[in-house]
Each structure stands twice: as C-alpha cells, then as structure tokens.
Chain A
Amino acid sequence: MQISVTINGKLESGDVEPRTLLVEFIRYQLGLTGTHVGCDTSQCGACTIHMNGKSVKACTLLAAQADGQDIQTIEGVAPAEGPLHPMQEAFRDNHGLQCGFCTPGMIMSALAMVERYKGEDLDEQTIREELEGNLCRCTGYHGIVKAISAGAKAMQGGA
C-alpha cells in the first residue's frame, strides 16, 4: 500500500506492506537510522519519535498508521551542518550518554516532556517519572536527568 508521511517537515511517500512497522519504514526505506530499535517489544524507548507532536514508540506502530501524519525524528531536531539543539548540547555537557544507543530516544522523550511541562516546574522527580518508557544500559540515568534539567532550562532561556 502507498503511504505519505511528513517527516521532519518534508513530505515522503513510499510503498509498504500493511505489516511494515513505522520504525522499519523510517530506517530502511527512508534511511533515517537515528531512530534505533533496542528491544522491539515496546519497552526500551530507543525508537521514540514524535507523531503530531506526541512521543510514541515507532516499533509499536504500523507505517500505515502514520499515513497522512506529521512525524519528527532525531534527524529533524537540529540541522545536519548547524549547531546542536540545546537539549543535545546539554546531553553532551552533562555526560548524558556513554554508548549513545538510547540517546536519540532519550532526546525525543526529553523534548516531549519539556513541551508537556511548559510553564511548570520540571523537577528531578518529574523527569525520572517521565523517563519511565526509556531504558539506558550504560549511564545509570543520573547524567541523563541532569542533562534534561539543563536542556529544559536552556530551551526556556530562548536558546
């Protein structure tokens, strides 16, 4: 079946099977390999993207469900050649990653959380609860929580 999806602001079309997962379409058909597959069982959040501004797990969506929708992946967060997004910068500055496998999903969850808590306090406890759907096997989370807190502040600072 034919689908067309707006990905990172650009309209993309493709021929998929009804059983093709959205993450497969993104990685193998569009070549956007920043969205990772960690578990393929809806647990780890490495495949987190935004659909119509909401964080979702792309391994638990059919490509067909994204037809006509607006998708953002990690590649759409900052220009390829340009400076990093403040949230990405904050992960670099605060040791928010080691191997980096979970990082794209972490950043997409972090950006969704900043959006959801706009105007409210994004404290440490809230960040930890909001990361329920993202697993990291390396960092022990402290750096990630610090990075999100710093990234959120940098974003509010109008960066």
Chain B
Amino acid sequence: MYAFDYKKAASLEDAQQAFESADDGTFMAGGMTLIPTLKQRLASPTDVIDLDGIDDLRGITVDSDSVTIGAMTCHADVAASADVKKAISALAHLASLIGDPQVRNRGTIGGSIANNDPAADYPGALVGLGATVHTTKKTVSADDFFTGMFETALEEGELVTKVSFPIPEKAAYQKFPNPASRYAVVGAFVAKTKDGIRVAITGAGATVFRVPEMETALTGSFTADAIADIAVPADELNSDLHATAGYRAHLIGVMAKRAVADCG
C-alpha cells in the first residue's frame, strides 16, 4: 500500500469537506473492496475518508410500500432483518448470499453499488425491484444508476446516502455463485411489481441489465415455461477464467427460470 492520510468523518458535511480539501481523496465504507485495491496498488489516493462514523447513513426503515436501507448498512444486517425478510424476503436472501460471514459483517450496500462490480449481487436487486438511489446530489432510478463496468451515475465526491426498494407482490433471486469467491457468475432477480414484471441479470454482462423479452413473456403467463425458449445472445456477455460467454448465456435462462419458480 502507498501511504495516505486517514480521516474519520463525523457527518456527511464533514466527509464532503474532507474530500474537497484532499488532493485525491477516496471514501471508505467497510473497506472490503477498497483495502484489497490499495494493497494491490491499483489505487493511490492521498486521503482515505472513512464513512463509518456517520450514523445517519446506517439503518433500515420499512413502511407500507417500501424498504429503505442506509448506504452504510452492512450485508449481515440486511440478511438478518426481520422487517426486510417480511417485506421483501428475496432482498434479505440476496444479502445472505454475498461472500462469507466476515465479508457480510463489513461490506455495505453503498460500497457495493458505488463500486458496481459486474459480478456483484445488489445491482440485481436494485434493477430487479426498480429501486431508487438517493445521493448527496440527486435521486436516481436504479435503471439509470448503473452505467457500465465499475461505472455509475455518481460524480466526483458524490455519496450514496440510501436506497429505497418498492415492496413487490412477489420476488426471488437465484444465483450461480463462483465456488471460491461467491460472487455471481450469473444472478437473476425476478419481481412482479405494481408497475409490471422485471427481470434483472447480474454477473453476466459488463453491468446489470434487464431482459425485456422475458418480462413480456412473464406478463402473459408468470411461469418458468413461459421463458423456457428465450435465449439471451452471448455476444456482449463476459468471458473470463470463471465462465465463457456461451456458458453465461445458458445460465441466464436456467437462473431466470429458477427465480420465476421460486416466486411461487
């Protein structure tokens, strides 16, 4: 690791001020991606600004039509929340599948979506449920938030503050995990919401995407059979040492069908 200055922010204003006065500052949530990145010297910020002391960024609130999760809420808290399990069990289930217990105790929803790893789970839930991302500068729909591989609609110095998820009629998440890291080789999030059916795929492409053909077919008949013949072309999918694009294309069909069946 290259040397840097460390600052623990006490409030959002404090964090933003620290960012502005730094030459090349970076925010840190749980450090689950940032610290490995620093160790590999893939980043060399002058200042690391720790968000851990900002209590306003933590917590889960549930009302009659939405679940709202603060950016610094860790995966373990979402997975264990009785309120989340009751309102959107697929979301708690998704959080329980991320990495391992130690990672879930530190990794946060804000850090996960700001990083937008193509194999991350949360982007699937955000797009699958049609969530809204709240930042220090704007309110943006999940469809517009994830813009490319490790790219989001966040600007320099902009912080995710919370994410709100509309409560669906039904939803389910199925992932084919990488056996070593547990990151998604392919993950399918399917939801029946009051604005229609949504099918979001993570892990397979540069960033999370929807499958409109499946959404249309499921609107006609909400059964796994209805999407059995829909193939997503492999051309734009990821190929790496974990899986070829062709294999990922196949897995999309399998995981999406399982998710539909799992919706019950």
Contact = CB atoms under 8 A, between A and B. Distances in A.
Interface of A: 1, 17-19, 21, 40-43, 45, 48, 54-57, 60-62, 64-65, 67, 109, 112-113, 116, 130, 132-134
A64 B3 contact: no
B6 A1 contact: yes
B38 interface: yes
Q: Which interface residue of B2, B5, B6, B35 has the most chain A CB atoms within 10 A? A: B6
Given A18-B4, A42-B32, A54-B76, A60 B106 contact: yes
Given A18-B5, A43-B180, A61 B106 contact: yes
Given A40-B39, A65-B50, A55 B3 contact: no
Interface of B: 1-6, 8, 31-32, 35-36, 38-39, 48, 50, 52, 76, 99-103, 105-106, 180-182
Contact of B38 (A1, A19, A56): A19
A16 to B, nearest CB: 9
Contacts of A45: 100, 102
Contacts of B101: 55, 109, 112-113, 116, 130, 132-133
A132 B31 contact: no
A154 to B, nearest CB: 21
Contacts of A112: 101
Nearest to A17: B3
A55 B101 CA distance: 7
A40 B1 CA distance: 12
19 contacts: A17-B3, A18-B4, A18-B6, A18-B48, A19-B2, A19-B4, A42-B32, A42-B103, A45-B102, A55-B101, A55-B105, A56-B105, A57-B102, A61-B35, A62-B35, A64-B6, A64-B8, A132-B100, A133-B100
A116 B76 CA distance: 10
Pairs of residues from A and B, 10 with the lowest C-beta to C-beta distance, nearest first: A133-B100, A18-B6, A132-B100, A54-B105, A19-B1, A133-B102, A64-B6, A57-B102, A60-B35, A55-B102
A132 B104 CA distance: 11
A18 B3 contact: yes
A65 B6 CA distance: 9
Nearest to B100: A133
B171 to A, nearest CB: 22
A19 B50 contact: no
Contacts of B39: 40-41
Contacts of A48: 102
A133 B52 CA distance: 23
Contacts of A130: 101
A113 B36 CA distance: 25
A19 B3 contact: yes
B36 A42 contact: yes
